[in-house]
Structure 1
Amino acid sequence: MAKLESAQLVGYILKHTQLPEKGVKNTIELLNEDCTIPFISRYRKEKTGNLDEVQVGAIVQFKEQFESLEKRKKAIIKAVEEQDALTPELRIKFETAEDITQLEDLYLPFKKSIKTKAEVARKNGLEPLAKIIMAQRNDDIEFTASKYLNNDVENEDDALEGARHIISEWINERTDIRSQIRSQLARFAIISTKVISTKKKDEKAQKYRDYFDWSEPLNKCPSHRFLAFLRAESEKFIRVKIELDDERLLDRIENRIIKSNNACAKQIKLALADAYKRLLFPSLSNELLKAAKEKADDEAISVFSNNLRQLLLGAPLGEKRILAIDPGFKSGCKVVCLDAQSNLVHNENIYPHAPQNDVSGAIKKLSSLVNAYKIEAIAIGNGTASRETEHLVKKVIFNNPVEVFVVSEAGASIYSASKIARDEFPNYDVTVRGAVSIGRRLADPLAELVKIDPKSIGVGQYQHDVDQTKLKNSLDVVVESCVNSIGVNINTASVPLLSYVSGIGPKLAENIVIQRKEKGAFKSRKEIMDVPRLGGKAFEQGAAFLRIKDADNPLDDSAVHPESYAIVKQMAKDKGTEILSLIGNKSLLKEIELKKYCTENVGLPTLEDIRSELEKPGLDRREKAKVFTFDQNIKSITDLHSGQLLPGIVNNITNFGCFVDIGIKESGLIHVSNLSDSFVKDVNEHVHLHQQIIVKVIDVDVLRKRIQLKLHK
């Protein structure tokens, strides 16, 4: 049975992907051994046929779909069996159903409720009459109906109505009719909206003004607009409706089931209209909306995931001494100084803005701190009073060059009030923690942002409206992928960062940090196995993603897996040198004939990865942070006018365009149509998150606080 299910699983995945069968089989085997996606895609290339993370992720997705489908099949078969209604033919139909929709259609006749109109009619003894009508051979159906009168059925009309309710249910349960209506809905359904008149003048409703009276084919409705409809409806500003050409469709269905032109046909026609209006259309249009919502969710989650990946892999400044400022007016600016390892060494407040306006005191203090702590860079949060604070900092004359950066503080307040922040800084308040987070984001965005719930980072479209479980799972995969693609310094990484390392997780991450505190820094990868409860499997999965600086074995600070150390040692020996001399020696590495080191388990893909890693071991592939300056003449939206060319930073990407920070409170939108003179299929092909660009102002709506921009090439 297990072998049969395994074969069915492979077949299911092959049907939904274009992946090689052997690679799929071996990947499933690795997944069943609790191997992670980063480990499989990086260190088991020979087994998978060199499948990348995306392809392995697709196998995981369809594996979960298949398992969910099989679980539902078993539950349905058991339920029908308990009703003594499971025939061999029906079992086969259930077992061979290819998707959940087909499965639920088959199960529909067995999900009866005693409260349905059809069930009441059956109890009143009207099912034989319904069968007579469906046979369509009776020319005097009213006379026949009179034979079914009883205490609960007072007259012929009641009898015929009850029979029609039973026929309506039969029609509703026909899989061919349901499929036909689904097909028509998918192709021709119209989604329309109407404003709720009592809410029309509501200030909050104005952002949905464009959708007060909207209509378009549902299959042409983009995901962001569909989610906007649903949000506006949930806030009770509009009503959303699905419409279809009913008459045309009903004519087609009539041709399927009505084979005569007598009184029975008239009753069936009435039953069909009832079935369609009361059962089929409400059920299937809701199903269509649910499917459209799932599709919109998937697209929105994909946008968020792409943005999150770009954000996490944003340019780090590296190990520099940083002064970070969380700007503010009335409460002042919180200033913290961090050492090169991002440890907090000093904090205090300055009050350069209204109402205190202590500009000279703030300048003196900043100059003093920069000199005292040998500060190399200044990070300023981009929230309230950011521009004013940046202007102040640039007035300060420092003894040595100091780079000034404006850093996104989205989610910093979430972090500063979190348990993670309290555990890191138990003796400091939220203002200190928030400023530290701003500084650390400049040093290493990835290491700091993993401490925050990704939904709070503020990139994406309608992330709070989508399926939250699906969103969390997708974003967790992205974070795991990013962390493992860069690697983690085990001697400096926080618990949240370590917890995303392949095979580690939160508990082992805590144990690593505890051991680090009790016994000092790890000196080799071998010592990782001394961590309590970290067994061989966890070591296999995570060791190559954990880096140890200045280790005795230089490979411990590389992406070479410990299981391949012997191969590198043999390479060095064959070249008459030491491993340390081999590392970084491109000419010597090129001379190595990789085929010589192939074994049953290690092939050319792994060996090529090893050689590539030895050329630049532990190389951080991220770009380095660059200073950016906004147009100093633009202080608010009222300073904008069409035709201006301005510097900006892309701060969010959606399916309909990208948003750009131009140094004021409101971000401007570059609609997809303004990204290029040619058709734009993917916004990410033209811009990426945190990219520094030049934009042209097209239109400014001060009242609605909307800025339309065009990408200037």
Structure 2
Amino acid sequence: MTLAGSTHRTIEQTIADELGIKLTQVRAAVQLLDNGSTVPFIARYRKEATDGLTDVQLRALEERLRYLRELEERREAIVRTLHERALLTDELGEALVAATTKNELEALYAPHKTKRKTLAFLAREAGMESLVEDLLEVPFASAYDIAQAYVEPELADAEPGTVEHVVAHADNALEGARAILLEAASTDVALATTLHQRFIRRGVVTARLVPGQEVAGAKFSDYFEFSEEIRRIPSHRVLALLRAEKEGAVKINIDVDVLPPAKSKLTGAAREAAEILAEEYDRERSWYERTVAESLGIGAQVLNMVSDEERVVGWLTKTVRLAWRQRLLPRLAGQVRTDLFEQGQKDAIGVFASNLRDLLLAAPAGEHPTLGLDPGLRTGVKVAVVDGTGQVLETCAIYPHVPRNQWEDALARLEDLVKRYGVQLIAIGNGTASRETDRLAADLLKRLTSAGVSGVQKVTVSEAGASVYSASELASVELPDLDVSLRGAVSIARRLQDPLAELVKIDPQSIGVGQYQHDVSPAALGRALDAVIEDCVNAVGVLVNSASPALLARVAGFNRTIAENIVAYRNENGPFASRQDLLNVPRLGPKAFEQAAGFVRIIGGTEPLDASGVHPEAYPVARAILADAGASVGAVDEAALAQLNPAHYVTDTLGLPTITDIFAELAKPGRDPRPVFKTAQFAEGIESISDLAPGMILEGTVSNVAAFGAFIDIGVHQDGLVHVSQMSRSFVSDPHTVVKSGEVVRVRVVEVDPKRKRISLSLMLEDKPAPARKRR
């Protein structure tokens, strides 16, 4: 049996159906990807080929293409193995072809994985299938007497693990017959499908406290006594449960219903409740056992008869229960557990990617001289002044807080730096001593105002990942003469000026905008986050004459080696005069140039179009448009452009979508898609969780968005949570549709729990009860 003939068509059609796009679009995108084109390049400069697929659609297509191709490779390998071992039945083959996930494929293959000769195999070789038929026909006979007819006494000393041993004793023959039935139940594809469908629909995930872990696992107390239906449990809760189990706080069980507690030590209402649970559990389990019995040709009524194993009826009952409880239930539970984890992983990665995108595309403060403050108490506040391009002008450390309390000396030093370098922005890290340092900056602004210096603004900046950058190889290359402790202040200042340019230098998993990031596949998470960074960098564009190697490496078509070669060439030969000069860089060939050229910018070079997002391949058309508009790059009258018809400039290689993009670029060359810079103003006197009270209206910055809500930094060193139910008076299915990471919002304090360090917030500033729902 082979599947190769229709594999590619099936994959492409599957992707088209899943994404709701045309098959022709999928085929064009797959061809471009296979030929080495990047997603940003295809999305921006090959719209005609894909009929306008967006970068989001292309990323989803790329990920599904990878997964489905891996799935097909694994399917082919399994089919080949089963065929070689003569185990591939028509029913199993059809099920393998129909499998849509790797987990489903492996579940079908699992019963056939072993290469050793199983007891069922030996029993069939010994003719025990006839014994099975005999046992099924006479349920009230003696099982031992029936089996005795198959025994060969002369083989009583046969070696275990041989065909002869199966027929050496009646007990052995019965054991072999049972193995045949157990294997039949385990390999019945139709039975597995029926059981799985009901298990998904009615099964339950439970968690119970591991004795003695009450204190160590206190943060998981919500799951000490927990149960929820498989079909209803949300992804973030699955990952929380798995983490709680990994840390030894709880034991997870996936079963047909809530497993009842032992009743021996229970009395009164607790015992009655346990008995009810036991009845419900037995009722649900009996359905599965009846279904297993029927699949084996055993009358379901057999399970209701009380008998020991001496009679066939008792032997059959035990066989059915062994098949369900020891073979099928564990496999089903394992399959569901894997499915739940994979869905949880997918959702968690999606949330992380969305948050990272919002953070990277946050509004830049711009090219202003900036003072970076990395707060600290005993170790002091680290200070760095950078110019508008991020070059370090001066660094130092001040000690305004305990234990030194050199407040006035610190103010004098900062005032001197601001005046001397014309500082316009003060970036304050949000770590330890942030609010104390914010007060210091507030006093500094008062002193500056008194001295006639105005226009200086203080901003609290997330310092997540700054310490990782400080100790990195990249930081040691960029700032070789600075102490590690001072590099963090530089990073804080630069990330206020341009979050994207600075954050790309840091491992995205260190930025702190994901949840359960250590519980998911590092490879899958890395692919998703790398894709987000690449898309964000290319959406904004990169100034090739000033960009760091870390930023250049994220340009479509470039890699780390090319980025380093660009910087080395730039340092040796001076600024690039045109995009075309990039072809002189070692290892930067025509393909890399094609992919990258439209995303790099050169300001003030020999070719004015190099400052725009117009690709060099479209320069002749762009020049024709400018000529007809009577304009030049950067000095285009939009009214004149509006008089021109983009359709008149369509060529054999450049369609209307690309021409329309060229018109937009010429109107605003190199436009930045990021929003206007805005900061949150923290409330005076609200510096710790103990200062909060229900009803307070505060301003804060969204630090993280999860599937269940959003975390808000309100300046008290502990983010508050706006649960999804507190985001709107109407239903919210996805918090990302309401808020984004980095966004400034106003919130109402709902509840404060200092002991557990939990702050509940609401975006609904007026405390009005939700309207009562009508009963159905």
Q: Once the 2 structures are TM-superposed, how far is the Cα of residue 22 of structure 1 from its aligned partner?
A: 1.1
Instruction: Report the equivalent of 2:622.
Output: 568
Q: Once the 2 structures are TM-superposed, how far is the Cα of residue 132 of structure 1 from its aligned partner?
A: 2.7
Q: Distance in 2 between matches of 1:349 and 1:223?
A: 45
1:525 aligns with 2:579: yes
Q: Distance in 1 between matches of 2:585 and 2:131?
A: 73
1:677 aligns with 2:729: yes
Match of 2:493 among 430, 439, 443: 439
Name the aligned partner's letter for residue 635 of structure 1.
Answer: E
Instruction: Report the equivalent of 1:656.
Output: 708
Match of 1:185 among 192, 199, 211: 199
Pick which of 19-28 and 393-402 moved more.
393-402
Q: Once the 2 structures are TM-superposed, how far is the Cα of residue 470 of structure 1 from its aligned partner?
A: 0.9
Instruction: Report the equivalent of 1:162.
Output: 176
1:252 aligns with 2:305: no
Instruction: Report the equivalent of 1:237.
Output: 249
Distance change >3 Å, CA 172–CA 134, structure 1 → 2: farther
1:288 aligns with 2:345: no
What are the superposed Cα offsets for residues 100-159 of structure 1, whole Å, 9 maximum, x if unpaired? 355445544542253855456567x36434553587479855433113334245643442
Name the aligned partner's letter for residue 228 of structure 1.
Answer: A
Q: Distance in 1 between matches of 2:232 and 2:619?
A: 55
Contact 2:134 2:146 in 1 (8 A): no
Q: Distance in 2 between matches of 1:482 and 1:134?
A: 68
1:324 aligns with 2:372: yes
Instruction: Report the equivalent of 1:579.
Output: 632
Q: Once the 2 structures are TM-superposed, how far is the Cα of residue 580 of structure 1 from its aligned partner?
A: 2.8
Instruction: Report the equivalent of 1:539.
Output: 593
Match of 1:697 among 749, 763, 766: 749
Instruction: Report the equivalent of 2:769.
Output: none
Q: Distance in 2 between matches of 1:369 and 1:326?
A: 16
Q: Once the 2 structures are TM-superposed, how far is the Cα of residue 197 of structure 1 from its aligned partner?
A: 2.0
Q: Distance in 1 between matches of 2:4 and 2:598?
A: 33
Name the aligned partner's letter for residue 457 of structure 1.
Answer: I
Q: Secondary structure at the match of 1:214?
A: strand
Q: Once the 2 structures are TM-superposed, how far is the Cα of residue 602 of structure 1 from its aligned partner?
A: 1.6
Contact 1:130 1:164 in 2 (8 A): no
Distance change >3 Å, CA 287–CA 375, structure 1 → 2: same
Match of 1:227 among 235, 239, 245: 239
Q: Secondary structure at the match of 1:239?
A: strand
Distance change >3 Å, CA 249–CA 94, structure 1 → 2: closer
Q: Secondary structure at the match of 1:194?
A: strand
Question: Within 5 Å, which residues of 2 pair with 1:3-42?
Answer: 4-42=6-44
Contact 1:584 1:617 in 2 (8 A): no
Q: Distance in 2 between matches of 1:5 and 1:518?
A: 51
Instruction: Report the equivalent of 1:309.
Output: 357
Instruction: Report the equivalent of 1:430.
Output: 484
1:67 aligns with 2:69: yes
Distance change >3 Å, CA 601–CA 137, structure 1 → 2: farther
What are the superposed Cα offsets for residues 162-197 of structure 1, whole Å, 9 maximum, x if unpaired? 311221011101111111111111111111111112
Q: Distance in 1 between matches of 2:523 and 2:500?
A: 23
Contact 2:129 2:180 in 1 (8 A): no
Distance change >3 Å, CA 130–CA 351, structure 1 → 2: farther
1:345 aligns with 2:387: no
Name the aligned partner's letter for residue 442 of structure 1.
Answer: L
- Equivalent pairs counted in the alignment come to 708
Q: Which ranges in structure 1 are unaligned for 5 or more consecutive residues?
A: none
Q: Distance in 2 between matches of 1:130 and 1:539?
A: 74
Distance change >3 Å, CA 89–CA 252, structure 1 → 2: closer
Name the aligned partner's letter for residue 132 of structure 1.
Answer: E
Q: Secondary structure at the match of 1:395?
A: helix
Distance change >3 Å, CA 171–CA 232, structure 1 → 2: same
Instruction: Report the equivalent of 1:132.
Output: 133
Contact 1:650 1:693 in 2 (8 A): yes
Contact 1:129 1:145 in 2 (8 A): no
Q: Secondary structure at the match of 1:649?
A: strand
Q: Distance in 1 between matches of 2:358 and 2:568?
A: 32
Name the aligned partner's letter for residue 436 of structure 2.
Answer: E
Name the aligned partner's letter for residue 32 of structure 1.
Answer: D
Q: Distance in 1 between matches of 2:361 and 2:564?
A: 24
Q: Once the 2 structures are TM-superposed, how far is the Cα of residue 16 of structure 1 from its aligned partner?
A: 2.6
Q: Distance in 2 between matches of 1:465 and 1:130?
A: 50
Instruction: Report the equivalent of 1:453.
Output: 507
Q: Once the 2 structures are TM-superposed, how far is the Cα of residue 365 of structure 1 from its aligned partner?
A: 0.6
Q: Secondary structure at the match of 1:528?
A: helix
What are the superposed Cα offsets for residues 211-261 of structure 1, whole Å, 9 maximum, x if unpaired? 110111122111122111111111111111112022122223333332658
Q: What is the identity percentage for the equivalent residue pairs of Structure 1 and Structure 2?
A: 39
Distance change >3 Å, CA 671–CA 597, structure 1 → 2: same
Match of 1:297 among 345, 351, 365: 345
Q: Secondary structure at the match of 2:226?
A: strand
Q: Secondary structure at the match of 1:579?
A: coil
Contact 2:366 2:497 in 1 (8 A): yes
Contact 2:128 2:173 in 1 (8 A): no
Aligned-residue Cα RMSD (Å) equals 2.4
Distance change >3 Å, CA 216–CA 368, structure 1 → 2: same
Q: How high is the TM-score relative to the length of structure 2?
A: 0.87
Q: Secondary structure at the match of 2:206?
A: strand
Match of 1:638 among 666, 690, 700: 690
Name the aligned partner's letter for residue 21 of structure 1.
Answer: L
Contact 2:131 2:147 in 1 (8 A): no
Q: Once the 2 structures are TM-superposed, how far is the Cα of residue 279 of structure 1 from its aligned partner?
A: 1.2
Contact 1:229 1:240 in 2 (8 A): yes
Question: Within 5 Å, which residues of 2 pair with 1:185-204?
Answer: 185-200=199-214, 202=215, 204=216
Contact 1:190 1:215 in 2 (8 A): yes
Q: Once the 2 structures are TM-superposed, how far is the Cα of residue 554 of structure 1 from its aligned partner?
A: 1.7
Distance change >3 Å, CA 354–CA 678, structure 1 → 2: same
Q: Once the 2 structures are TM-superposed, how far is the Cα of residue 310 of structure 1 from its aligned partner?
A: 0.5
Contact 2:534 2:555 in 1 (8 A): yes
Contact 1:589 1:611 in 2 (8 A): yes
Name the aligned partner's letter for residue 256 of structure 1.
Answer: S
Q: Secondary structure at the match of 2:467?
A: helix
Q: Distance in 2 between matches of 1:15 and 1:131?
A: 47
Q: Once the 2 structures are TM-superposed, how far is the Cα of residue 670 of structure 1 from its aligned partner?
A: 1.3
Distance change >3 Å, CA 572–CA 691, structure 1 → 2: closer
Q: Secondary structure at the match of 1:635?
A: coil
1:592 aligns with 2:609: no
Contact 1:637 1:666 in 2 (8 A): yes
Pick which of 642-651 and 382-391 moved more.
642-651
Q: Distance in 2 between matches of 1:381 and 1:623?
A: 22
Q: Secondary structure at the match of 1:694?
A: strand
Q: Secondary structure at the match of 2:518?
A: coil
Q: Distance in 2 between matches of 1:387 and 1:95?
A: 61
What are the superposed Cα offsets for residues 303-348 of structure 1, whole Å, 9 maximum, x if unpaired? 1111100000111111111111111111111111101110111111
Instruction: Report the equivalent of 1:47.
Output: 49
Distance change >3 Å, CA 317–CA 420, structure 1 → 2: same
Distance change >3 Å, CA 282–CA 412, structure 1 → 2: same
Distance change >3 Å, CA 372–CA 491, structure 1 → 2: same
What are the superposed Cα offsets for residues 442-467 of structure 1, whole Å, 9 maximum, x if unpaired? 00000111111111111122111122
Q: Distance in 2 between matches of 1:568 and 1:279?
A: 69
1:708 aligns with 2:760: yes
Match of 2:322 among 261, 264, 274: 274
Match of 1:507 among 557, 561, 570: 561
What are the superposed Cα offsets for residues 668-696 of structure 1, whole Å, 9 maximum, x if unpaired? 11111111222121212222222222222
Distance change >3 Å, CA 703–CA 86, structure 1 → 2: closer
